[in-house]
Structure 1
Amino acid sequence: MPTYNVNKWAPAGAVALALLIGGCSKPAQDTSAEQKDNTATEQPAVVADANPFFQDWDTPFGAPPFELIKTEHFLPAFEKAIAMHKAQIDEIANADSNPTFENTIDQMELAGAELQRVSRVFFNLTSTESNKEMQELQRTISPMLTRHSNQIQMNEALFNRVDTVYKTREEANLNAEQVRLIERLYNGFIRSGANLDAKQRARLAEINERISTLTTEFSQNQLNDTREFTLVLEESDLDGLSQGQIDAAAAAANSRGLEGKYVITLQRSSVEPFLQFSERRDLREKAFKGWAMRGDNDNEFDNKAVISEIVNLRIERAQLLGYKHHSDYVLSNTMAKTPEAAMDLLLKVWEPAVEKANQERTWIKEVMAEEGVEHELEPWDWRFYAEKVRKAKFNLDQSEVTQYFELENMIKAQFYVAERLFGLTFEERKDIPVYNPVVRVWEVKDVTGNSVGLFFGDYYARDTKRTGAWMSSFRTQQKLAGDVKPLIINNMNLNKPADGQPTLMTYSDATTLFHEFGHALHGLLSNVTYPTLAGTSVPRDWVEFPAQLYEHFIAQPYILEKFARHYQTNEPMPAELLQRIKDASTFNQGFATIEFTASALVDMAYHKLTEQQDINVRAFEEEILNGYGKPKEIIMRHRSTHFGHIFAGGYHSAYYAYMWSEILDADGFDAFVEAGDIFDEATAKKLYDFIYSRGDTLDYLEAYTGFRGREPNTDALLRNRGLVSGD
């Protein structure tokens, strides 16, 4: 699940001020690794001067000195940084001078640097090194940040100055980036209630603060309920599992003090392979139900009531701001513009996906019949029998494929593509502080040898880390405060192997690695002046485009031949195996498309509600998806109670964005195909000029057409998913 890189003046409070990533991948993985514990058992008062957040960081690139940062530093750091930011904003708002871009907007952009610094470290660590103390702090700090954000957004004197700059922008001789910034900031104030009366603003502030508390609660419930479940196996329960899966399950057991046992967790990298390969149907059912019911177990971590309250508060907030419903509010500020446009896309792929899934179900039932299986096909059977179909129809065994996808080679592959496209080089640094020993850091340099920034890679799962894969940052690029270099991080949740053993990945894992690195490049290659417009600080249905386009490179035969090498022999993947992978590329896409689209349809349904109500979450999901004719053997990729994208992050009423961006990435990669070279220099230059370097400085359709030479169409998307007639 994602966290987000959003405008620091947005109304989302803690999320806005945390400025956490630009996107996440569609797949997600997890298991366990050793934690570096920076948490003190006691929390003594901290002298401000000793707090590392208010000292110069004498580290390469000014990277956070994690060895100095303790849990007890965060609260006083937030309190002091909030006070400093408030004083800076008050000085801007109450200035006697006539408002200009320089004395108002520039100063707003420069304000709050200390708060940004502590927020980025804190919220990255709550995602990767969570524990009880950090969770308690998060429950305290999130509403604090929301209150602070509300005070800024509803500061009438500040808005009056912004309003003056906005209204005089055409005669102020501003450049295009400055015009884009003032328009974005002005619209942000309007969308945050600047035009409301005092009573309405007070209510809006209450709503924002309550939503902040609830989304934090949702996220922590999701993590804690995921952590609660373990399926403990004996030696006799391992039939069908590969040696790599057995080793990962043994490592998970050992980390829990269960030597001699094997443990399946609810991290996707643990449970999904188990569902694909375990011969034990009874255990597959337990694992699947545990996975599907996260946050829905009627225990202390249950999220159903949290969801109902969040949805109702979003309805109230949207209508308070003059919108019909929350979806109208969200999508008015995106590429799609309207809920109708988003729904049109989802329904355009839904019908062919159902048709494709029905074909896949027929194949599965044929295999079941051949094996004399008498039970009905259930959701915990689909992945298991789909693998049998894949092997029978395409002679493709996932365990065979995995042997060619070793993490180190895939990291080299993602770097190689960036070098060929953008002239970047990556030098691993051992002198950069990290928050966990498994984290790696590379210095990124451009073609002239100048430093671009730092890239952090945190690839392994652990109990303190939330599930999924995502990109985030400890600092974003800007030029207003000098030549500020970005510090970008990718997170994944791969199973950590035993010492000395290679980290083998599925093809899906490798695609996820490339996806997140596409987000990372969007942050690293940002070349703008103003931090609000930098990198991934763009709408959801645009932010996924650069990441999803980058995925295409791992699928190219040239890259696979060069980097997909057997982990033991270092032999390249055989050409006939490459062909089998290509032949099977659209297999099970009906299933995958329904999984995703079902989640997006439920997201839209929640956020198109216009009347507050007591929502029965299970019944709501069932009613919506039965109405669209969802096959009973396929469930939502993310059931509501663990759908962190929309209830703990920034994809509410915007989960469709992955599909929207897939139109762009599928059509966009065809530019390289049409050029006859996946590294075509002219196409790569346009990709850099109009997409990766531009942040939010250009209209998104204008940016796309600048790169592609025309507007996008859906042909490539349907073709790539095998959803066109005859596939």
Structure 2
Amino acid sequence: MSILNSVFKTVHDTAPFSQIKTSDYLPAFEQALALTRAEVNRIVNNTEPASFENTIEAMAFSGMQLDRISTIFFNLHSAETNDEMDRIAQEVAPQLAELANDITLNQDLFNRIKQVYENRENLTLTPEQETLLEKSYKDFTRNGALLGDDDKEKLRKIDAELAVVKLKFGENVLAETNAYQLHITKEEDLQGLPAGTVEAAQGLAESLEKEGWIFTLDYPSYIPFVTYADNRDLRKEITIAAGSKAFQANEYNNEAHVLKIVNLRFQRAQLLGYNTHADFVLEERMAQSANKVNEFLEDLLVKAKPAALREFDELQQFARDKDGITALEKWDGAYYSEKLKQQKFDLDDEKLKPYFNLEYVLSGAFQVADKLFGLKFTEVDNIDKYHPDVQTFEVRNEDGSLTAIFYADFFPRKGKRNGAWMTSFKPQYKLDGKEERPHVSIVCNFTKPTATRPSLLTFNEVTTLFHEFGHALHGMLANTTYPNLSGTSVFWDFVELPSQIMENWCYEQECLALFAKHYESQESIPMELITKIKESASFQEGMATMRQLSFGLLDMGWHGQDPSTISQIKAFENQHFASTKLYPDVQENAMSPSFSHIFNGGYASGYYSYKWAEVLDADAFDYFQQHGIFNREIADKFKDNILSKGGTEHPMILYKRFRGQEPRVEPLLKRAGLL
């Protein structure tokens, strides 16, 4: 038996990473798939009449071994992958899709669920149990339970195909990211770049036994390069490389995969009786319909566009006056924005970075969690890790009881995809009178420490860490009975509230005083810099809003219509970017072939939720500001009504219980300087 199928004899039941061999995964999946089928069959073949306990609750706790193996494998497939892991993922994904279909298309099982659902008026259920019953019924009807046999077979084929093509999409993006290197051998080409960025690039070159400096498409390398490098031609080269990921004439091209994914999703939605994939997805979101999402995006566009156009004109004029740039291009945006910000606020990331030592920032996030929710984080070395860079922590309540296990994985490496995300290795739930606490992880890509300095973050990276930490708190503070309603298992346009609200603390003096200390002198960040951070918070917010709206509109374009006649990805993008376009088009670039959020993540028909949740987080933080940003009474209301409740009730009910009213858009417009 694979170690993955046995009870983990580890501290707090944590994953035994060092004991897992890659060869363990396939047999472990095979055994866990069989076990899940046996568990489901027991429920189906139960001779007792269907009840909430023997059907709905039993299903909620079925497949737990498989879920555990899947989370371990697929989390590592994102953070620590290799060719063998890729091969296993391709083999396992269709098997998991097939199992999901075997369950949701099992007529006898559905009949039992339907019996309980139709008898719900006569049951005495808690709000959480009511939600679980509703969710169980909808999971089946929304995934084909009401289809005829032929259509069920079509659905199976679509889901199996989708599982494989989405994985291939993600693997291609990672391969393209890893394939590119900007190798610089002349020192003059480094003009403008910060010392830490240059040192990291030199370190990478040395590790690859090359002369000079190497820059990559990993964010800690790419972002500083396009922001600070004076050499415009090199900024152009690396910008085009980033924008043409998986859009080149090579084996990693994702254009066919994009078209396949959107067409399969559309066919699936039609099969299930929905007009489009967006209609299918949004039925289970706060927004509820494609019309409402499009109205929301268009309304924000109307409010943001005048500001964005003013800001872009100002940036163009600045670049013209400074360097005679007659036409501002995409590779100029970050560079001149940074210069303009420095001029306006006498503020740049290089001035701020010495005050944002990663170690201190993480400690600051922990202190915020302590002040708000009474959580204590202690780093421990007796918990297994999947990579030496990973840090492990025990998280405890004020009474000393264990709240969660927390993993933090901060630095880029070859087998790790770009970006930042939160995930979990074990959910929170209650079973047989026992409380199981969650194992939560955040994964980021920050600059590694060098021989002479620790990992120093840009202010944007500080807010990224707090953002992912907010997701982590949502997972860690979960207090529900059922694993599929726990933590971040909420409507997708609600899931960003706990993460985005945490970013607000980064702009507050009371919070920055906890951790923003110079890494050499230990001096606290000067008040004048805090003032400038606050003043610059809405700098180019119109342009930033337009950028987010452009991604949301593209997402709805792909998923809110019949895509079967679309053949040219580039032309389709240009059409959907028209209303938000600021910079001239770059012919070699297309976004969709590397738009992992919607083609390999969970954001299809959901990218709008970042802006949707901004309305919620601005309104919620406004409540804190009115009563003090560390007010325990408000924090308790936020914890008890939102963070701990997961998906046990409709998010608007939870939000109104916390806030006392529906969210208002005014705090967001005020914060963004768009009023």
User: CA 1:506 to 1:467, structure 2 compared with 1: closer, same or farther past 3 Å?
Assistant: same
Equivalent residue letter for 1:568: E
* Secondary structure class of the residue paired with 1:403: helix
Aligned-partner SS, 2:550:
helix
The answer (yes or no) to whether the contact 1:401–1:506 under 8 Å persists in 2 is yes
Matched, 1:462 2:413: yes
Which residue matches 1:619?
Answer: 571
Contact 1:354 1:630 in 2 (8 A): no
Corresponding residue of 1:166: 117
| 1:427 alignment partner, SS class | strand
Query: Structure 1 635/118 Cα, relative in aligned 2: closer, same or farther at 3 Å?
Result: farther
Q: Distance in 1 between matches of 2:590 and 2:543?
A: 14
Equivalent residue number for residue 158 of structure 2? 207
Match of 1:427 among 378, 381, 388: 378
Q: Does 1:261 align with 2:215?
A: no
Q: Which residue of 1 aligns with 2:71?
A: 120
Q: CA deviation at 1:635?
A: 8.5
- CA separation of 1:142 and 1:602: change in aligned 2, threshold 3 A: same
Query: Could you tell me how far 1:367 is from its partner in structure 2?
Result: 2.4
2:194 corresponds, among 223, 242, 247, to 242
Q: Which residue of 1 aligns with 2:289?
A: 338
Select between 186-195 and 636-645 the one with higher mean Cα deviation.
636-645
The amino acid that maps onto 1:607 is H
Corresponding position of 2:511: 559
- Structure with the larger helix share: 2
* Residue 686 of structure 1 pairs with residue 637 of structure 2: yes
Q: Secondary structure of 2:404's match?
A: strand
Structure-2 residue corresponding to 1:475 = 426
Q: Quick check: 1:58 aligned with 2:9? A: yes
1:98 maps to which residue? 49
Equivalent position to 2:21, from 70, 77, 83:
70
Q: Which residue of 2 aligns with 1:14?
A: none
Match of 1:609 among 561, 568, 571: 561
**1:316-364: CA deviations, max 9, x gaps?**
1111111111111000110000111111221122233332222222222
Question: Given the alignment, which residue of 134, 137, 145 partners 2:88?
Answer: 137
- The answer for the alignment partner of 1:503 in structure 2 is 455
Q: How does 1:489-500 map to 2 (within 5 A)?
A: 489-499=441-451
* Counterpart Cα distance in 1 of 2:453 and 2:320: 40
The 10-residue stretch of structure 1 (248-257 or 682-691) with the greater mean CA deviation from structure 2:
248-257
User: Contact 1:154/1:192 (CA < 8 Å) preserved in 2?
Assistant: yes
Alignment gaps of 5+ in structure 2: none
Matched with 2:494 is 542
Contact 2:262/2:563 (CA < 8 Å) preserved in 1?
no
Distance 1:558 1:242 in 2: 29
Q: Deviations over 1:233-284 (max 9, x none)?
A: 12231100010111121222233332x3211111122111111100000000
Equivalent residue, structure 2, for 1:665: 617
SS in structure 2 of the partner of residue 479 of structure 1: strand
Q: Which shifted more, 389-398 or 192-201?
A: 389-398
Partner of 2:315: 364
1:584 correspondence with 2:536:
yes
Task: Report if the CA contact (8 A) 2:549-2:580 is conserved.
Answer: no
SS in 2 for 1:610: coil
1:219–1:644: 8 Å Cα contact kept in structure 2? Answer: yes
CA-based RMSD of the aligned residues comes to 1.5
CA contact (8 A) 1:595 1:634 kept: no
Letter in 1 for 2:509: P
Percent of pairs with identical residues: 38
> In structure 2, what is the Cα distance between the partners aligned to 1:150 and 1:499?
52
2:236 counterpart letter in structure 1: E
Instruction: Classify the secondary structure of the residue corresponding to 2:378.
Output: strand
Q: 1:678 to 1:372 in 2, by over 3 A?
A: closer
Q: 1:185 aligns with which of 115, 136, 139?
A: 136
Q: Is the 8 A contact 2:397 2:403 kept in 1?
A: yes
Picking from 332, 335, 338, the partner of 1:381 is 332
- The count of aligned residue pairs is 672
Report how far residue 168 of structure 1 moved: 1.2
Three-state SS of the structure 2 residue aligned to 1:193 is coil
Q: Choose from 550, 556, 564 the match for 1:598.
A: 550
Q: 1:523 to 1:638 in 2, by over 3 A?
A: farther
SS of 2:84's equivalent?
A: helix
Give the counterpart of 2:175 among 204, 224, 248.
224
Q: Which of 433, 439, 454 is equivalent to 2:390? A: 439
The Cα offsets for residues 128-149 of structure 1, whole Å up to 9 and x where unpaired, read as 1111111011111111110111
| Candidates 458, 463, 484, aligned match of 1:532 | 484
User: How far apart in 2 are the matches of 1:582 and 1:242?
Assistant: 23
In structure 2, C-alpha distance between the alignment counterparts of 1:69 and 1:339, rounded to whole Å: 44
Asked whether the equivalents of residues 219 and 648 of structure 1 are also in contact (C-alpha less than 8 Å), the reply is yes
Unaligned runs of 5+ in 1: 1-47
Shift of 1:372: 4.3
Q: How far apart, in 2, do the equivalents of 1:75 and 1:115 lie?
A: 12
Which amino acid in structure 1 is aligned with residue 571 of structure 2?
A
C-alpha contact 1:354 1:631 (8 A) present in aligned 2: no
Using the alignment, how far apart are the partners of 2:25 and 2:137 within structure 1? Answer: 31
Pairing partner for 2:468 from 495, 516, 520 = 516
Q: Which amino acid aligns with 1:511?
A: T
Distance 1:638 1:693, change over 3 A: farther
Distance 1:501 1:240 in 2: 19
Distance, in Å, in 1 between the alignment partners of 2:79 and 2:590 is 21
Secondary structure, aligned partner of 2:409: strand
Checking the alignment, whether the CA contact within 8 Å between 1:335 and 1:539 is kept in structure 2 is yes
Is the 8 Å Cα contact of residues 360 and 590 (structure 1) preserved in structure 2? yes
In 2, are the aligned partners of 1:599 and 1:639 still within 8 Å (CA)?
no
Q: Does 112-121 or 65-74 show the bigger shift?
A: 112-121
The CA distance in 2 between the partners of 1:282 and 1:96, in whole Å, is 73
Equivalent residue of 1:540, what SS?
A: coil
1:317 aligns with 2:268: yes
Alignment equivalent of 1:349, drawn from 286, 292, 300: 300
Give, as a single letter, the amino acid of the residue that structure 1 aligns with 2:64.
Answer: A
Counterpart of 1:61 in structure 2: which amino acid? Answer: H
Name the CA distance, whole Å, in 1 between partners of 2:520 and 2:18: 37
Cα distance change of structure 1 residues 470 and 566 upon mapping to structure 2, 3 Å threshold: same
Q: 1:274 aligns with which of 206, 212, 225?
A: 225
Question: Which residue is equivalent to 2:102?
Answer: 151
Distance 1:171 1:586 in 2: 54
- 1:635–1:429 CA distance, 2 compared to 1 (3 A): farther
Which of 662, 668, 673 is the equivalent residue of 1:717?
668
Equivalent position SS for 1:241 = coil
Runs of 4+ in 1 over 4 A off after TM superposition: 633-638
Question: SS of the counterpart of 2:429?
Answer: coil
Match of 1:494, SS state, is coil
Per the TM alignment, residue 58 of structure 1 is displaced from its structure 2 partner at its CA by 1.6
| TM-fit CA distance, 1:497 | 2.0
| Alpha-carbon separation, structure 2, partners of 1:486 and 1:508 | 28
Structure 1: distance between partners of 2:516 and 2:662 = 34
The alpha carbon displacement at 1:66 in A equals: 0.9
Determine the C-alpha separation between the residues in 2 that align with 1:488 and 1:500.
Answer: 32
